[in-house]
Amino acid sequence: MISRTETHDVVVCGGGLAGFAAAIAAARNGAKTCLVHNRPVLGGNSSSEVGVTPHGAAAFHAYARETGIISEALIEERARNHAEIYENGWTNSVWDIVLYDMVQQTPGLILHLNTDVRGVEMADARTIRAVHAVIQNAETELRLEARTFIDCTGDGIVADAAGCHWRMGSEGKDEFQEPHAPEKASKDTMGNSIHFLCRDMGRPVPFKAPDWAVKHEDASYFYEQGRIPKDVRGGFWWIEIGVPYDTIHDSETIRHELTRHALGVWDWMKNKDPKTMEACKNYALDWIGQVPGKRESRRITGRYFMTEHDVLNRTVFPDEIAFGGWFVDLHTPGGLLAKTSEPSAAVGGHDNEYDTFSEYSAMSYCGPYGIPLRILLAKDCDNLMMAGRNVSVTHAALGTARVMGTTALMGEAAGVAAALGVARGHGFDQLVSEDIAEIQERLLRNGCFLPNHTSNALASTLQGTKVTASSDAPVHGVAPETPGFHEGLKIWKDQPQYSIERLESRRGQLIATDGGRLDFIELCLSNSGSSPVEVDVVLLQADHIWDYRTEPGAPLATGKISVPSGGPHWVRWNLSLELPSGIEAGSFLRLDLLPDKRISWHAAQKVIPGHMAMYAISPARMRRFGNGHTLAYRISPAPRPFDPAQVLSGVTRPHRRTNLWVSDPAQPLPQHLELSWEKPRMISSVQLVFPGHLIREYHAYGPFYRDAQCPRDYRIEVESDGVWREVAAVTDNYQRLRRHSWEQSLAATRLRVVVTATNGDPSASIYEVRCD
Ligand SMILES: Cc1cc2nc3c(=O)[nH]c(=O)nc-3n(C[C@H](O)[C@H](O)[C@H](O)COP(=O)(O)OP(=O)(O)OC[C@H]3O[C@@H](n4cnc5c(N)ncnc54)[C@H](O)[C@@H]3O)c2cc1C
């Protein structure tokens, strides 16, 4: 063994998506950063070694996909990867290399792979001086000193070694009265899992399970308890084992048991199950993961303890730094060794789109909700942060917060906060009380989204800025046959979507307004009855696109429309309505139809940005309809909710407003957006946030995917001293966030972004322009 000491500002332990994002964020924010990871590839559970597909809020909420560092990586992966990522277990090395490439391209970031953190060296009872690690294949001990440490090991190894308080198991209902908490506190955690992948050989191939594999004989074990072998290609999250084992100390025993079971499940599917045998005939077991993914172990106690109540009530935290939106997804302790796989799956809620009305499913649907910085700051240590599944949340709250889109957002926030703390010499209390606005601003600047905070800096630096455009899009509505560009609507698959067009429950369609007059709205409806049917219609004002209240306020209008038998028909609702003053341009109305099973409201192929639909799952609650589809409607006069001033809203996705400039699709490209100032403004850089990539999760999209809405070719021009200069020209873009800077500041009176081509959409569109 040889020994070496390194000194850094920030050391991040564990290179899952939380640690990856934390390290990149810390380095980008000026801290000398080191990332230590005990596997040969980055990504943790998402890596090709484990193969869990990163999920997040967009699985349940349209336009809620996580942005910032995680979206840079995921957009890059889809654009570069030749392979479809259908399910868990399909991840290939392209993803590992995308992550590795991003780390390599980050100045100030040192990476140690295959390096296991073994312990800590304390400066005093509340301060870590260094972590001790071993490079497993190099007979080398590392002593890594730093000002701040971030524990992203999942198991909270650093926190444990530093003597921090942590919890493991389930809180009982008596402690926080959480709806999903079990009656009694216990040591139960969710389990570890491995995945397998099968390949079509084009001819029948045999499979013989080893004698030590589990022998499955009982169809009800699979089909009645939420373990549906629904695809011959593999990818089953329910190959999971936790209790009676300890997910940390019995990890190897669990791995062996999982291997026995995985082989047994494939044996069942291929050789015994009448429902799958034929389909499996030509399939061979190609890959079986041997690095189990862990869902749950230690949760380190932080300066706030987030419970399920915070999630369900969407608590507004002053120190909000991230958001979540996966459902409260708690698997049955024991997994394969228990009776059912997961309460929701056993009643059909997880995998069966028709069962989203069950009480359990309705209770589990949550978000988007805010996450506070304080759950990332260890209570018992003054220089230890954490991000990932080991943060300060209850077992029930971990049910939603553990998915990797969310953990990566936490990581990015921890990295930003750590770097800022180091630069300012501030401790955790100051980060929360004095620096939080700056942390939030930095996150927003990097294209992140916070449900309850918008960018103040953008508003103040752009005061006095006038925004105009060559055109902006009127919204006439969409018909079922209007061509669409959102590939992600077609491909995916098994999250609850409720694609039934029939009005089995209340249905709402968001419609962005410019606050003017509304003469009529027409809806594309069919009536399966033999005579006309009167349907109740309600026009409401929505606070934002995830305002799932069935009654968000007093209706702006109510009425009845008569739907003739058969169809589809365009049925008109005459409104002749002057919208009340105070409704902002780009904000959302909601048109609801009350239920009548004879009536269907047809979905359109094209999605108008932000214009998603929802359906009632309980008397008070709605949820996203379809995959973020727009239902067919026409409106007159056509509002113009995508006006150019939306690019200064400080929000880079549809939320309370569209927050998006869209050029008129009837006018050919190039189209441009122009910022102008009465007094010249010194500018040396421009940051642009482009649309696309938000409506669904990344693996809904095919190989080599580039979002149609995203500008492909564009240039930036600046007018200075009466002369126009081109300061940037880009071709072949598919990324959402682009920065351009030049050496000499220019005294600009006007700045133009000229979009000459998109990746498929006829309109040019932009969420945000920042000039510095
Ligand atoms: C089978 C399964 C299915 C799941 N399904 C989904 C899903 O579909 N989508 C989704 O988003 N989430 C899913 N989850 C949850 C999600 O994968 C985890 O919650 C998530 O990986 C947590 O991220 P993390 O970065 O905190 O931890 P991890 O991904 O576990 O990363 C932590 C990394 O730290 C490394 N490490 C540990 N100890 C040390 C040490 N001493 N020194 C150095 N490095 C160390 C580990 O090797 C690990 O790679 C699933 C989990 C499992 C197990």
When the pLDDT of each residue in the chain is averaged and rounded to a whole number, the result is 93
* Across 742-757, average pLDDT: 96
pLDDT tens per residue across span 536-566: 999 999 999 999 999 999 999 999 999 999 9
∠ CA 405-60-375, nearest 5°, is: 45
pLDDT tens per residue across span 323-363: 999 999 988 888 999 887 766 655 554 444 445 677 777 88
CB of 37 sitting under 6 A from ligand 1: yes
CB of 54 sitting under 6 A from ligand 1: yes
CB of 295 sitting under 6 A from ligand 1: yes
pLDDT at 636: 97
Q: Is a pLDDT exceeding 80 seen at residue 246?
A: yes
Higher-pLDDT residue of 357 and 481 is 481
For residue 149, what pLDDT band results from cuts at 50, 70 and 90? Answer: very high
Higher-pLDDT residue of 443 and 85 is 443
**Nearest protein Cα to ligand 1, atom 45:** 14
Helix (H) or strand (E) run with residue 613 in it: strand 613-616
Quote the CA–CA distance of 388 and 152 in Å, as a whole number: 6
Q: To test the ligand 1 pocket, which listed residue (45, 47, 402) has its Cβ within 8 A of the most ligand atoms?
A: 45
Contact 613, 519 (CB under 8 A): no
Q: Is a pLDDT exceeding 80 seen at residue 492?
A: no
Long-range (24+ apart) CB contacts under 8 A made by 547-552 are 547/588, 547/590, 548/614, 548/621, 548/622, 548/623, 549/620, 549/621, 549/622, 550/506, 550/592, 550/616, 550/619, 550/620, 550/621, 550/622, 551/620, 552/590
pLDDT at 269: 96
Q: Find where tokens 């209902």 sit.
A: 173
pLDDT tens per residue across span 180-202: 999 999 999 999 999 999 999 99
pLDDT at 233: 84
What are 53's two structure tokens? 């597909």
pLDDT at 498: 58
**Nearest protein Cα to ligand 1, atom 22:** 389
State the Rg of the chain over Cα: 27
Query: How many Å lie between the centroid of ligand 1 and the Cα of residue 294?
Result: 6
Count of residues in the chain: 772
pLDDT tens per residue across span 269-287: 999 999 999 999 999 999 9
**Nearest protein Cα to ligand 1, atom 21:** 45
pLDDT at 489: 58
Q: Is a pLDDT exceeding 60 seen at residue 159?
A: yes
Find the helix packing angle between 404-424 and 17-28, rounded to 10°. 30
Task: Provide the pairing of β-strand 369-372 with 517-527.
Answer: unpaired
Query: How many Å lie between the centroid of ligand 1 and the Cα of residue 264?
Result: 25
pLDDT tens per residue across span 615-646: 999 899 999 988 888 999 999 999 999 999 99
Contact 703, 82 (CB under 8 A): yes
**How many Cα atoms sit within 13 Å of 692 on the Cβ side?**
30
667, 646, 685, 684: which is closest to 755 by C-alpha?
667
Q: Is a pLDDT exceeding 90 seen at residue 460?
A: no
Strand ranges inside 247-363, DSSP E: 283-288, 293-294, 299-300, 320-324
CB of 389 sitting under 6 A from ligand 1: yes
pLDDT tens per residue across span 391-429: 999 999 999 999 999 999 999 999 999 999 999 999 999
pLDDT at 353: 43
Q: Is a pLDDT exceeding 90 seen at residue 747?
A: yes
Largest pairwise CA distance in the chain: 86
**Helical residues (DSSP H) of 85-161, grouped into ranges:** 93-104, 157-161
pLDDT tens per residue across span 699-714: 778 899 999 999 999 9
CB of 268 sitting under 6 A from ligand 1: no
Ligand 1 atom nearest 133 alpha carbon: 42
CB of 707 sitting under 6 A from ligand 1: no
Ligand 1 atom nearest 118 alpha carbon: 41
Which backbone phi and psi does 424 adopt, to 5 degrees? -95, -5
Quote the CA–CA distance of 228 and 351 in Å, as a whole number: 9
Q: How far out from the chain centre does Cα 352 lie? A: 21
CA terminus-to-terminus distance, the chain: 50
pLDDT tens per residue across span 61-117: 999 999 999 999 999 999 999 998 878 888 999 999 999 999 999 999 999 999 999
CB of 53 sitting under 6 A from ligand 1: yes
For residue 268, what pLDDT band results from cuts at 50, 70 and 90? Answer: very high
For residue 496, what pLDDT band results from cuts at 50, 70 and 90? Answer: very low
498, 478, 738, 497: which is closest to 609 by C-alpha?
478
Tell me, letter by letter, the H, E, C secondary structure of 452-493: CECCHHHHHHCCCCEEEECCCCCCCEECCCCCCCCCHHHHCC
Is 315 exposed, middle or buried, given 0-12, 13-18 or 19+ CB atoms closer than 10 A? middle
Quote the CA–CA distance of 312 and 150 in Å, as a whole number: 28
**The CA-based dihedral angle spanning residues 419, 322, 62, 310, taken in that order and rounded to the nearest 10 degrees:** 170
What are 111's two structure tokens? 């990476």
Residue 244 is given by DSSP the state: B
**Nearest protein Cα to ligand 1, atom 19:** 402
Contact 116, 133 (CB under 8 A): yes
**How many Cα atoms sit within 13 Å of 746 on the Cβ side?**
23
pLDDT at 487: 60
CB of 404 sitting under 6 A from ligand 1: yes
pLDDT tens per residue across span 562-572: 999 999 999 99
Which sign does the torsion angle of CA 213, 217, 222, 225 carry?
A: negative
For residue 659, what pLDDT band results from cuts at 50, 70 and 90? Answer: very high
Buried b (16+ CB within 10 A) or exposed e, 637-661: eebbbbbbbbbbbbbbbbbbbbbbb
Quote the CA–CA distance of 231 and 215 in Å, as a whole number: 20
Strand, helix or coil at 218?
coil
Is 271 exposed, middle or buried, given 0-12, 13-18 or 19+ CB atoms closer than 10 A? middle
pLDDT at 462: 75
Across 166-175, 430-439, 622-631, least confident range: 622-631
Query: How many Å lie between the centroid of ligand 1 and the Cα of residue 287?
Result: 20
Query: How many Å lie between the centroid of ligand 1 and the Cα of residue 295?
Result: 7
**Helical residues (DSSP H) of 281-403, grouped into ranges:** 308-313, 343-346, 359-364, 395-401
Query: How many Å lie between the centroid of ligand 1 and the Cα of residue 77?
Result: 19
Share of the chain above pLDDT 90, in %: 84
Contact 442, 30 (CB under 8 A): no
Quote the CA–CA distance of 136 and 384 in Å, as a whole number: 25
Contact 557, 577 (CB under 8 A): yes
Q: Is a pLDDT exceeding 80 seen at residue 488?
A: no
Residue type, 337: L
**How many Cα atoms sit within 13 Å of 94 on the Cβ side?**
18
